[in-house]
Amino acid sequence: MNVERAKSTRLTRPTPSELGVLRVLWRLGPATVRDVHEALNAREPTGYTTALKFLQIMHGKGLVERDESRRAHVYKARLTQAQAQSQMTSQLVDGVFDGSTSKLVLSALGGSSRTTPEELAQIREMLDRLDGVEK
């Protein structure tokens, strides 16, 4: 009881491992299987065909696009990191924070306390901007 097929509008959400691949693509930009494999393999020993399969599957799901004009296909994330971030964030908000963004923010800030003054200032800026828009 799920999933839109084939059409490009809705993207299925990445699995944990697929997220790993996306992270590599975000960092490297368009990359070949070899590139991705080397990146993954550096972090944890992994077979070449494993990387290949991931890219293929993700292509099937529409998570990446690929350029087949060269022998070694070149893959490219179809979602920017920012898009993935906001998608997964609202997912978390809906799933665990009763839909309340502020609860998430409070929990994030309160819990970790590993936030620098500069970052806090940035957040304040954002708050000001929101207040501005607010009527």
Question: Where do contacts with DNA occur on this chain (CB under 7 A)?
Answer: 3, 12, 15-18, 32-34, 45-50, 52-54, 56-57, 68, 71-73
In the chain, the amino acid numbered 52 is L
* Rounded Cα–Cα distance for residues 15 and 28 (Å): 20
Q: Is 68 in the site for a copy of itself (CB under 8 A)?
A: no
Shortest approach of a copy of itself to residue 43 CB, angstroms? 13
Task: Please identify, using beta-carbon distances, which residue of 3 and 130 lies nearer to a copy of itself.
Answer: 130
By a kind-dependent CB cut-off of 5 to 8 A, residue 48 interacts, out of a copy of itself, DNA, none, with: DNA
Q: What whole-number distance in Å separates Cα of residue 64 and Cα of residue 23?
A: 12
Measured between alpha carbons, how far is 63 from 86 in angstroms, rounded to an integer?
Answer: 16
Supply the angle between the helices 16-28 and 33-43 in degrees, to the nearest 10. 110
Q: What is the total count of residues that contact a copy of itself (CB under 8 A)?
A: 44
Alpha carbon distance 81, 43 (integer Å): 20
Cα(131)–Cα(135) distance, integer angstroms: 8
Binding positions for a copy of itself, 79-108, rule CB under 8 A: 81-82, 84-86, 88-90, 92-93, 95-97, 100-108
Question: Which residues touch 6 (CB under 8 Å, ≥6 apart)?
Answer: none
Binding segment toward a copy of itself, per CB under 8 A, in 29-37, 55-63, 69-77, 125-133: 125-133
Residues that bind a copy of itself (CB under 8 A): 16, 19, 81-82, 84-86, 88-90, 92-93, 95-97, 100-117, 119-120, 122-124, 126-127, 130-131, 133-134
